[in-house]
Amino acid sequence: MLDLIVRRCRLKGCSQEQDIACEDGKIVEVAPSIEGSAANEIPANGCLVTPPFVDSHFHMDATLTYGRPRVNQSGTLLEGIALWGELKPHLDFDDIKRRARLLCQWAVAKGNLAIRTHVDVCDPELLAVRALLEIREEMRPYLDIQLVAFPQDGYYRYPNAENLLKDALDLGVDVVGGIPHFERTMAEGARSVTALCELAAERGLLVDLHCDETDDPQSRHVETLAFETQRLGMQGRVCGSHLTSMHSMDNYYAGKLMALIHEAQLSTIANPLINITLQGRMETYPKRRGLTRVKEMLEQGINVAFGHDCVMDPWYSFGSHDMLEVAHMGLHVGQMTGVDQVNSVFDAVTVNAARAMQLEGYGLSPGCNADMVILQAADPIEAIRLRANRLFVIRRGNVIASSPEATSLVRLGEREETVGFRNCELPDTKR
């Protein structure tokens, strides 16, 4: 007897409903009609089943600190950094863990079973690093957490950040991070990219740098990142996050830059919610969107992922860690409403993000981990439109979160009807 069979699933890109059989935490068969029984059978009833959502860019050490010490009134990146600087001396080890644990619960409820979180290493005690290392282990049965050693105040700008970052890696942090555009000069920023990439290459680690998170078209550190990736033979192991200066670059240079990114096999990570609210603050009108050139990079064959970045922290006052909300905002600001484009946006919060994080065993094929989400939607387009309810969240073949179907009872005079806002409710125009 199998451990789990999910019946009558709709899968992205598949016209026929499928069953998914799981045993010992792995998917063992995907077929239109699987014979036999299982200890647990879940009827998907024609709903979309997807691999888990993946948040490829987050800051868990700062999450859920809304209002501490005050709310970001200007809504800008720099005020957020200033607020974090005020808050950091008052951080408490147990409080960091409590907030991170609650965020992980929210993530699981939303079907997000992998998070790459940056953690600030500009702290002589490495308090947040130590707290999130414990959370990573505590949450390992339920979701995958990657930690990025992130010198928030600058690798060269903050005293002893170089040694603190190495100390964080020695403690077990997974990925080398940086913020070159926050160094004192462009030259120092470029020098930090080289040093951080060399450190990662020496240790055999992945790289994920905050790059060019500004309105400045001359902030071009991703160019250096692409160069160093190739020089050090790190193709496929490096991510450039944000890249919002690209919205201000002239088209010729942007085209050249995207070719270099593709050649270096860089993954790029945009963060639509935060990018469009923090950026574009230095001009009046016309307003810049504050988002990198997602559509154009996808057309170039670049792996583009989306991250949530922040939930109720010094930078962003909103959010519930819903990656479908991220996708919904991303397709609007990127003007990506074609069918293929919407599907690619769905990929940005699933398979592309998993590729950027180099997650093993991700997917819905036999041999993959039995991790999946059953959505109250028929396809990715409907899922994004509705920010669809997560009916079941499954980890290694076990249900770890569930929700009842989301419907509303409408009474119009004598009529009483249930609505769920689904495509299947639309009037049949053929009648």
Catalytic residue among 79, 213, 325, 382: 213
How many CA atoms within 13 Å lie on the side-chain side of 328?
A: 13
Q: Using CA atoms, how far apart are residues 112 and 105, in angstroms rounded to an integer?
A: 10
Do you know the residue count of the chain?
Answer: 431
Is 50:375 a contact under the CB 8 Å cutoff? yes
Tokens of 31: 């077929």
Helix (H) or strand (E) segment spanning residue 402: strand 398-402
Q: Using CA atoms, how far apart are residues 378 and 383, in angstroms rounded to an integer?
A: 7
Catalytic residue check, 29:
no
Q: Using CA atoms, how far apart are residues 83 and 69, in angstroms rounded to an integer?
A: 7
Q: Using CA atoms, how far apart are residues 202 and 341, in angstroms rounded to an integer?
A: 38
83 alpha carbon, distance to own chain's centre: 23
Packed helices 221-231 and 251-263: angle between N→C axes, nearest 10 degrees: 20
Q: Which residues are catalytic?
A: 213
